[in-house]
Amino acid sequence: MKIGPKFKIAKRLGAPIFVKTQTQKFEQSVARGGRQMKRRPQMSDYKRQLIEKQKMRYTYGISEKQLRRYVNEAVEKSNQPVSLLMERLESRLDNVVYRMGLVKTRQMARQAVAHGHLCSNGKKMTIPSHRVKPGEVISIREGSRQTGLFVDLKENHEPTLVPAWVSFDVKKMEGEMKTTPVFNQAESLFDPEQVME
């Protein structure tokens, strides 16, 4: 998914949703444009919901079509569609790889999966949207362990940042999704309730 100018998008959405925008340079840029921001008229409910939807899309790096499919699936299959939608987004292979701490961003995780660097239960995977199920073992492919992406993983991996529902063993270069993903609203920059509305 091609994203475009990240500073402009993050400013428009009012949240530093990209790694590039989680810097002091971005904060200064927002502060400089602060006067114009104050003159904006009051936001309608529709616009607020649209902005939350865009934040969700850019956070997970998915297209409008993919998000529509996930939302329809959540509404059809559950009487609590918000939790099912977030569970589905969090259990995407690219997101699980990011949550395990193998790479710094979801975009890097998507690229690592698409380039065939990862295996699911010993089978090479190249589909970032693959749904990871509890008990599924995600490992770095033998031939990819010495690539630039993972060569410093043993020194740089931070197990404290890995959520409780996944685990990763740096020595074995493999991890597991232990239970269904648990979405933490406090860590998020968007409100899934608004998206579902």
* pLDDT attached to residue 33: 63
Distance CA 129, CA 65 (A): 13
CA distances from 190 to 13, 17, 196 (A): 10, 9, 12
Taking the chain (197 residues) in runs of 10, the rounded mean pLDDT of each run is 67 68 64 56 82 86 91 88 90 92 89 92 92 93 85 82 89 90 77 81
pLDDT at 28: 65
Q: Which residues contact 78 (CB under 8 A, 6 or more apart)?
A: 84
Q: What length is written for the chain?
A: 197
92 vs 131: CA distance, rounded Å: 5
pLDDT of residue 193: 85
pLDDT at position 153: 85
What is the rounded distance in angstroms from the CA atom of residue 9 to the CA atom of residue 94? 22
Structure tokens at 18: 């990209």
* Report field, pTM of the whole predicted structure over 0.85: no
Backbone angles phi, psi at 72, to 5 degrees: -60, -40
Q: What is the rounded distance in angstroms from the CA atom of residue 80 to the CA atom of residue 7? A: 34
Residue 187 in 3-state DSSP? helix
